[in-house]
Amino acid sequence: MLKLDEIQKRLISEVADLHSVPEGAYNFRANGELAGRNSTANIEIVSKPDGSGIDIHIKPGTKHESVHIPVVLSNTGYKETVYNDFFIGEDSDVLIVAGCGIDNCGAGDSQHDGVHRFFVGRGAKAKYVEKHYGSGDGSGKRILNPVTEVYMEPESVMEMEMEQIKGVDSTVRTTVAELKEGAKLTVRERLMTHGSQDAVSEYNVTLKGENSAADVVSRSVARDDSSQTFNARITGAAPCSGHTECDAIIMDNARVLAVPSLDAQNVDAALVHEAAIGKIAGEQLMKLMSLGLTAAEAEEQIINGFLK
Amino acid sequence: MLELKNITYEVEENGAVKRILDDVSLTVEDRRFVVITGPNGGGKSTLAKIIMGVEKPTSGSILFDGADITELSVTDRAKLGISFAFQQPVRFKGLEVKDLLRIAAGRELSIPEACSYLSEVGLCARDYVDREVNASLSGGELKRIEIATLLARNTRLSVFDEPEAGIDLWSFQNLIRIFEKMRAEIKDSSIIVISHQERILRIADEIIVIADGKLSRRGGAEILPELTGADAPETACERLQ
């Protein structure tokens, strides 16, 4: 059974939408210790020999199974770096739910740096969902620096949803991907910063194989005095297609820096980038107010929709 | 229901004051379908925006069910029971059609309820209810969704600012049917439509002409011939015959 207190349970429900023990394979980590683990016939979770993290082995042909690996930190001042490797077998079709919740009521900075590496087998299909959440009113910061590396074999498909909506003071998110022939990567990032938070999101996607494709889309809202940097680089080294998009709503005294970059190394590499930053349009507020919402309620609806 | 008293609206343009509306007074009674028409640039849309509170008049006052609402915000007027269909509907990234209908209704809507409003405006509901109200929708689709939000609100007073603008011919036929139905089903409410379209003018209980910022003519269907020309062919098709 899981060894989690009430705060940790609340964090788990925020980052993994879990209210009880999930079906399938899981690994729960709380304040640096294992709080529960379950392997299944097709999905095996083992600790790395040096204790630095876990390896998740998904057997070839595994269909419609899921792995949950949430992490929670509720001790102030706790800092850790964890390495998790996913070996996704050929022709499998799986859902992987990760996420980290930090509750920091104390004065020390709490930090979780998760390094996730995905080795996606030929023809495999994986959906990866990651949520980050912070709470607690201590002066200590809540810091998350996730590193995600994705290595995709031919004809594999990876869909990634990354969300960080609340409470994380500082984050540097780094995502690196390499795609072989016919591999497809889709990334949907949702980010909101407030207060004096600072978020950096960097992507470096290399399309190595013929007919590989990547679509990286970030939607973000920057409020108060927060700042965001979105830096997406797609390299096309073969006949391929790549698209990156940064769409941001800026509010108050925030700052958003979008740096899309494309590197075409093949005449048949079709690469596109789009970036748009702007405030909420006055006419959008006016429309919702004409339906009976106050200006603040209208703003909330617009942001909720945008980040959906 | 609605009373506009001596409404004047001025803007500053290149350092000079320009009068858009000049001392307009009019009353809209209960259970009336009123069409405001007149030449482009005459001040019709400004008048509609002043009723909703999107623009504030330079002078004059607005009474709604006897209460002075001149200083009330758009939100407060909406809550009192005024709704407004924009001439150019707004797009929202991420907000779905059903979200907009839910906000309009002011309560949770079941999918069948949301769909019923869309069907009213001639949209195949299951194709639209989950669509984002974004640039993927055509002008005509947006206009119909805009009208559906007013149906969902079901307020005492509905104001439509040029519902026909940007609508294709097929959608237009449908639009006329929607307004005819609204006219037929009017109960404890009133409808004001800003329009140039003769087919909409024909539905009206009352026609108000605004030209050069002034109320220049007011009457029932009997004034239609003088607006369109007594012997003029009635539609483009008839003109061709």
Burial class (CB in 10 A: 0-12, 13-18, 19+), A50: exposed
In sequence order, what are the residues at sequence separation of 6 or more whose Cβ sits closer than 8 angstroms to the Cβ of residue A43? A24, A25, A56, A57, A58, A59, A62, A65, A67, A94
User: Chain centroid to CA B77: how far?
Assistant: 15
User: Chain centroid to CA A299: how far?
Assistant: 25
DSSP string spanning A71-110? EEE-STT-EEEEEEEEEE-TT-EEEEEEEEEEE--SSS-E
Interchain CB contact of B83 with A (< 8 Å): yes
| DSSP, res B122 | T
Average pLDDT, chain A: 91
More confident residue, A242 or A139: A242
Task: Please state the domain count of chain B.
Answer: 1
Give me the residue from B74, B94, B95 closest to A289, CB to CB.
Answer: B74
**Residue B135 to residue A261: CA distance in whole angstroms:** 25
**Residue B73 to residue B216: CA distance in whole angstroms:** 29
Q: What is the pLDDT of residue A134?
A: 83
Residue A107 has pLDDT above 60, yes or no: yes
- The minimum CA-CA distance between B160 and chain A, rounded to whole Å, is 12
Average pLDDT over residues B23-39: 93
Query: What's the pTM value of the predicted model, to 2 decimals?
Result: 0.83
B96: nearest CA partner in chain A: A305
Looking up tokens 């899309």 gives: A260
The pLDDT-based confidence of B217 (bands split at 50, 70, 90) is confident
Residue A72 has pLDDT above 80, yes or no: yes
Average pLDDT over residues A138-143: 83
Residues of A in contact with B52 (CB under 8 A): 290
Interchain CB contact of B103 with A (< 8 Å): yes
CA quadruple A116, A57, A161, A68: dihedral sign: negative
Residues of B in contact with A302 (CB under 8 A): 92, 95
- The minimum CA-CA distance between B219 and chain A, rounded to whole Å, is 29
Instruction: List the CATH number of the domain containing B193.
Output: 3.40.50.300
Residues of B in contact with A247 (CB under 8 A): 93
> How much is the ipTM here?
0.89
DSSP string spanning A217-238? EEEEEE-TT-EEEEEEEEEE-S
List all residues of chain B from 150 to 189 with a beta carbon under 8 Å from chain A: 153
Q: Which domain holds residue B190?
A: 2-240
**Residue B150 to residue B157: CA distance in whole angstroms:** 10
Inter-chain residue contact A294 with B52, CB threshold 8 Å: no
Inter-chain residue contact A289 with B78, CB threshold 8 Å: yes
- A 10 A CB-CB count for B132 gives 17
The pLDDT-based confidence of A254 (bands split at 50, 70, 90) is very high
B83: nearest CA partner in chain A: A290
Instruction: Evaluate whether B193 touches B158 at the Cβ level (below 8 Å).
Output: no
Angle between the N-to-C axes of helices B97-105 and B139-153, in degrees from 0 to 180, rounded to the nearest 10: 30
Q: In sequence order, what are the beta bridge partners of A113?
A: A81
**Residue A140 to residue A172: CA distance in whole angstroms:** 17
Residue B98 has pLDDT above 60, yes or no: yes
Q: What is the pLDDT of residue A33?
A: 86
Q: In sequence order, what are the beta bridge partners of A73?
A: A102
Q: In sequence order, what are the beta bridge partners of B33?
A: B191
Residues of A in contact with B74 (CB under 8 A): 286, 289-290
Angle between the N-to-C axes of helices B139-153 and B111-120, in degrees from 0 to 180, rounded to the nearest 10: 120
Q: Which residue of B80, B90, B91 to mutate against A (max A Cβ within 10 Å)?
A: B90
In sequence order, what are the residues at sequence separation of 6 or more whose Cβ sits closer than 8 angstroms to the Cβ of residue B9? B19, B20, B21, B43, B46, B50, B55, B57, B58, B213
Inter-chain residue contact B104 with A305, CB threshold 8 Å: no
Side-chain half-sphere CA neighbours of B240 within 13 A:
3
Inter-chain residue contact A290 with B78, CB threshold 8 Å: yes
Closest to A113 (Cα-Cα) out of A29, A45, A196: A29
Q: What is the pLDDT of residue B234?
A: 56
Closest to A297 (Cα-Cα) out of B80, B66, B73: B73
Inter-chain residue contact B54 with A306, CB threshold 8 Å: no
Side-chain half-sphere CA neighbours of B49 within 13 A:
18
Q: Which residue of A274, A287, A308 to mutate against B (max B Cβ within 10 Å)?
A: A287
Q: What is the pLDDT of residue B229?
A: 64
Closest to A285 (Cα-Cα) out of B163, B103, B45: B103
Average pLDDT over residues A296-302: 93
Inter-chain residue contact A284 with B92, CB threshold 8 Å: yes
Q: In what order do the strands lie in the sheet with B206-211?
A: B82-85, B157-161, B190-194, B33-37, B206-211, B214-219
Inter-chain residue contact B93 with A292, CB threshold 8 Å: no
- The minimum CA-CA distance between A221 and chain B, rounded to whole Å, is 13
Please state, in angstroms and as integers, the Cα–Cα distance from residue A62 to each residue in A95, A122, A123, A129, A193, following that order: 11, 13, 12, 18, 38
The pLDDT-based confidence of A19 (bands split at 50, 70, 90) is low
Closest to B152 (Cα-Cα) out of B182, B122, B118, B186: B118
List the single range of A205-214, B65-74, B91-100 with lowest mean pLDDT.
B91-100
Interchain CB contact of B149 with A (< 8 Å): yes
Q: Where are the domains of chain A?
A: 1-152, 169-308
Q: State pLDDT tens for residues A197-239.
A: 999 999 999 999 999 999 999 999 999 999 999 999 999 999 9
Interchain CB contact of B52 with A (< 8 Å): yes
Q: What is the pLDDT of residue A2?
A: 65
Residues of A in contact with B104 (CB under 8 A): 291
Interchain CB contact of B113 with A (< 8 Å): no
- The minimum CA-CA distance between B32 and chain A, rounded to whole Å, is 22
